Amino acid sequence: MTAAVTALSLIISPGSSATAAGKAASAAASRLEEPGAVPVKDQYDIRRELYDSLSSVMNVEWYWIAAVDQYERTISKAKPKARPQLGQTVGVFIEQERWAGELNPDSEDIFPLSIQWFNGIGRDGDGNGLAERNSDADLLYSLVRFASAKGTSDIRFPIGLWDYYRNSRSVQRIEQFASIYKKYGKLDLYEHAFPLPVGSSYSYRDTWGAKRGWGGRRSHEGTDLFAGHGTPVRSTCYGVIEIKGWNRFGGWRIGIRDLNNHYHYYAHLSGFDKKLAVGDIVEPGQVIGWVGSSGYGKQGTSGKFPPHLHYGIYSDRGLVEWAFDPYPLLRRWEQQERQRRRS
């Protein structure tokens, strides 16, 4: 208890560097709570200010804090009814009982010391002396503080994340997000590209839900883009290569995880960029392979259908993933890229 009180005092005691950081975090959070829509670019700046402020207090690198927040945001978007937004912009959701402590008679307790007494995780992250479950700074500080109990290094912090989520899938996602933020040093990493070079010869239509017979009756979960054998296939996003190799349905395929927690699936390739490996980070427009007709058989099988790229997108819901129709996104990305080329 003494250690926890001491740690808490670092946030709220006058004159401490943590108090200054707490005030900065409070200022960043208050800017997010100002009335009216905040432009997207400004939101990234304000979030980064909050991450940096908390990082200076907790000795946790900003990209870990950003990755935790972004992972929480993606799961809340996937489950909006079960995880309503608590703060103004931070994506963190913490259950009321976990925040205040399961045995706490006051489930809406906002006082850090009593919350701590009942083993709740709610803490004061902005230096105002209260642990408020609707405060961006308090939510993010409380989660990251819990996760940092095993250490704050790039090796130790994921151990604490497992203690919090008890789900290796969640830890993997946050590690992937952190690696992207760390490489580029910024938050605005949501640009997209069309998977084939715009201006090359290709055709596609909405093939979502079409029947497939090979390997058993199943529904087509993606869009087929027909193009000449060897046409470059490009990453549509900033992301991490999650899988690469052979699949008897998709042939030579590659899977990429982006910051929206979407899994981008590219199948029937004729080959990959040999320099790419699982865990590597790619960006929009980067060539990752080439159109082929591989699949529907043992490794190396090819030519059972015309060359094309099968492109699919899957959304992570925490424990399972579900596919959704990528056609509208492909049309949008194609139009955006054409506009960029014209300008």
Fill in the amino acid letter for 201: S
- Give the angle 320-322-328 at the CA atoms, nearest 5°: 155
Q: Which of 257, 260, 282, 259 is nearest to 272 (CA)?
A: 282
231 vs 128: CA distance, rounded Å: 58
Architecture of domain 202-209+218-340: Distorted Sandwich (2.70)
Across residues 43-49, what is the average pLDDT?
93
Q: What DSSP element (H or E) covers 268?
A: strand 262-272
pLDDT at residue 341 in the model: 87
Whole-prediction pTM: 0.86
In tens, the pLDDT along 185-197 reads 999 999 999 999 9
Residue 7 pLDDT class (50, 70, 90 cuts): very low
The residue count of the chain comes to: 343
Closest listed residue to residue 237, CA positions, set 317, 149, 330, 146 = 330
pLDDT per position as a tens digit, 74-91: 999 999 999 999 999 899
The larger pLDDT score, comparing residue 18 to residue 302, is at 302
**Beta-carbon neighbour count of residue 163 at 10 Å?**
13
- 123, exposed or middle or buried, with CB in 10 Å at 0-12, 13-18, 19+? buried
- What is the Cα–Cα distance from 141 to 144, expressed in whole angstroms? 5
pLDDT tens digits, residue range 306-335? 999 999 999 988 777 888 899 999 999 999
Place of tokens 């963190």: 92
Q: Position of tokens 């929206």?
A: 260
Note the pLDDT tens digit of each residue in 211-224.
555 444 556 688 99
Hey, where are the domains in the chain?
43-184, 202-209+218-340
Asked if the model's pLDDT at residue 31 lies above 60, the reply is no
